[in-house]
């Protein structure tokens, strides 16, 4: 399961894009369920806690909960949303190491007992606001090999992790486990190997103190398969090799642990990115001479960084122009509709091949855009509303549409 060819557009999603008359995000629930099933088959015995931030869409969450998934929540609001799916509260993990005393108390009131942490100060707050809770200490990682490294804001050193879990035990909390995150859209197996080596070393150090965690949280980082890099080349994550490394690492940790270990993962984009697509339209294809004398094509779309494609700084999405499949193509900078110069594909404005004959109003399909499209969106920047979304269920009778409901960028 490696290579860009492993993220085909499903027949159902293709039909929905072709039928859509207005801009929208479309999610294929059956495809999301199939990706979830595939993941659980590749990593048997590893529980899935979906990272809600990747797609906080009620219908997606309910579908995953019905499949058996739990949730990685980052705030009391996300916890409350997860509970509305009917998922048992024991399958909800408060995975944010950044939380106020009030956040902790509210999560505890809602029934959550599993908390991520990475500092002595946070442990003290959890002990006060969530007595008896289970804590997971997050190890810092380098983030090398990932599109988004996540290496600064979260996690602590191996030495600190031992101190944190020892302090948790002394404060009456349960030092339940260790967690890592190898970085979002991780592209290497080495990152996973390094993470398992780190976890093993900390487990051994904890056991010397008589601390025996019962869980390891492997975090997120599993990649989507349909992205292009900033220069337009297909990203080709070695997913099969990653799964093999993870299986070997899980087995190794079970061998070195003095007590039984359970494992969880927190995939986000891996489950939803390739199962969602945006139907947008062309605003204009223009040609302008730049200050250096170069003539440059610019393709302006109705959807950009601030209303669905926030991650366009680090990657490119595959674009399909269904009305111009056999047209002559020209290189163009692709940009969104807002009056903001950041609303364009980054890396010195990478060029994308687009039909020379494309015109205002022509449809464009933006593939593998199911992750973060609803959550990373502004609420009306420049007057452009968040996109509505539609979901494709297992049965047509339950299909529906909702207006865009994403978190406001601050």
- Alpha-carbon span 111 to 105, nearest angstrom: 10
- Reduce the secondary structure of 367-382 to three states and give it as a string: CCCCCCCCCCECCCHH
Q: Which residues contact residue 70 at a Cβ distance below 8 angstroms, ignoring those fewer than 6 apart?
A: 47, 48, 49, 50, 87, 88, 90, 91, 92, 93, 264
- Could you tell me if 95 and 239 lie in one domain? yes
The most distant pair of C-alpha atoms in the chain lies apart, rounded to whole Å, by 70
- Could you tell me if 227 and 120 lie in one domain? yes
Domain contains 88: yes
- Could you tell me if 269 and 243 lie in one domain? yes
Given a contact cutoff of 8 angstroms between Cβ atoms, the answer to whether 164 and 118 are in contact is yes
Per-residue pLDDT, 402 = 62
Domain contains 95: yes
- Could you tell me if 255 and 300 lie in one domain? no
Q: What is the domain-level CATH number for residue 290?
A: 2.40.37.10
Per-residue pLDDT, 153 = 87
- Could you tell me if 351 and 288 lie in one domain? yes
- Could you tell me if 209 and 82 lie in one domain? yes
Domain contains 11: no
Place of tokens 């601050």: 410
- Could you tell me if 36 and 165 lie in one domain? yes
pLDDT of the chain, 410 residues: tens digit per residue: 333 345 778 999 999 999 999 999 999 999 999 999 999 999 999 999 999 999 999 999 999 999 999 999 999 999 999 999 999 999 999 999 999 999 999 999 999 999 999 999 999 999 999 999 999 999 999 889 888 877 778 999 999 999 999 999 999 999 999 999 999 999 999 999 999 999 999 999 999 999 999 999 999 999 999 999 877 889 899 999 999 999 999 999 999 999 999 999 999 999 999 999 999 999 999 999 989 999 999 999 999 999 999 998 888 899 999 999 999 999 999 999 999 988 998 656 678 999 999 999 999 999 999 999 999 999 889 999 999 999 997 544 445 566 554 332 22
- Could you tell me if 246 and 334 lie in one domain? no
- Could you tell me if 186 and 333 lie in one domain? no
Element (DSSP H or E) covering residue 345: none
Place of tokens 């359970």: 262
- Could you tell me if 237 and 310 lie in one domain? no
Domain contains 197: yes
Number of domains in the chain: 2
* Whole-number Cα distances in Å, 140 to 154, 192, 205, 335: 6, 13, 17, 35
Per-residue pLDDT, 348 = 62
Per-residue pLDDT, 400 = 57
Per-residue pLDDT, 13 = 96
Domain contains 9: no
Chosen domain end from 273, 297, 319 = 273
Q: Which residues contact residue 317 at a Cβ distance below 8 angstroms, ignoring those fewer than 6 apart?
A: 227, 228, 309, 366, 367, 368, 369
Tokens of 10: 């499903």
Per-residue pLDDT, 409 = 27
Tokens of 346: 């980054």
State whether residue 291 is helix, strand or coil: coil
**CA-closest candidate to residue 223, choices 189, 255, 252, 250:** 189
- Could you tell me if 212 and 332 lie in one domain? no
Q: What is the domain-level CATH number for residue 224?
A: 3.20.20.10
Chosen domain end from 273, 306, 323 = 273
* Whole-number Cα distances in Å, 71 to 53, 84, 112: 10, 12, 11
Domain of 63 in residue numbering reads as 29-273
Chosen domain end from 242, 273, 304 = 273
Domain contains 10: no
Burial pattern 107-139, b for ≥16 Cβ within 10 A else e, equals: bbebebbbbbbbbbebbbbbbebbeebbbbbbb
- Alpha-carbon span 360 to 380, nearest angstrom: 22
- Could you tell me if 219 and 89 lie in one domain? yes
- Alpha-carbon span 387 to 373, nearest angstrom: 9
Using only C-alpha atoms, what is the Rg of the chain?
Answer: 22
Per-residue pLDDT, 401 = 60
Tokens of 162: 């031992």
């Amino acid at each position: 399961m490696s290579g860009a060819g492993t993220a085909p557009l499903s027949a159902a999603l293709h039909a929905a894009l072709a039928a859509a008359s207005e801009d929208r995000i479309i999610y294929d629930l059956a495809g999301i369920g199939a990706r979830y099933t595939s993941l659980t088959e590749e990593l048997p015995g590893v529980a899935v806690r979906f990272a809600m931030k990747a797609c906080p869409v009620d219908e997606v969450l309910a579908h995953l909960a019905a499949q058996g998934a739990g949730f990685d929540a980052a705030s009391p609001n996300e916890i409350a949303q997860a509970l509305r799916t009917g998922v048992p509260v024991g399958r909800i993990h408060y995975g944010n190491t950044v939380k106020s005393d009030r956040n902790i108390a509210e999560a505890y009131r809602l029934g959550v007992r599993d908390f991520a942490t990475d500092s002595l100060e946070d442990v003290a707050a959890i002990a006060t606001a969530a007595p008896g809770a289970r804590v997971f200490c997050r190890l810092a990682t380098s983030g090398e090999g990932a599109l988004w490294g996540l290496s600064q804001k979260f996690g602590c050193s191996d030495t600190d992790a031992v101190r944190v879990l020892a302090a948790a035990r002394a404060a009456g909390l349960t030092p339940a486990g260790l967690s890592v995150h190898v970085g979002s859209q991780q592209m290497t197996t080495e990152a996973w190997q390094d993470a398992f080596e780190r976890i093993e070393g900390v487990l051994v150090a904890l056991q010397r103190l008589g601390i025996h965690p019962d869980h390891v949280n492997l975090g997120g980082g599993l990649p989507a398969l349909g992205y292009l890099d900033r220069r337009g080349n297909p990203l080709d994550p070695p997913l099969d090799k990653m799964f093999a490394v993870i299986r070997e690492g899980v087995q190794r940790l079970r061998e070195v642990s003095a007590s039984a270990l359970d494992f969880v993962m927190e995939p986000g984009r891996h489950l939803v990115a390739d199962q969602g697509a945006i139907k947008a339209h062309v605003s204009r294809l223009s040609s302008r001479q730049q200050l250096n004398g170069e003539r440059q094509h610019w393709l302006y779309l109705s959807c950009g960084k601030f209303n669905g494609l926030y991650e366009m700084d680090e990657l490119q999405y595959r674009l399909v122009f269904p009305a111009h499949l056999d047209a002559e193509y020209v290189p163009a900078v692709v940009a969104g509709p807002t009056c903001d110069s950041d609303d364009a594909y980054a890396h010195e404005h990478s060029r994308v091949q687009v039909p020379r004959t494309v015109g205002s109003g022509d449809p464009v399909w933006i593939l593998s855009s199911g992750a973060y499209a609803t959550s990373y969106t502004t609420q009306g920047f420049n007057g452009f509303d968040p996109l509505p979304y539609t979901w494709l269920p297992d049965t047509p009778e339950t299909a529906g549409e909702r207006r865009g409901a994403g978190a406001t960028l601050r």
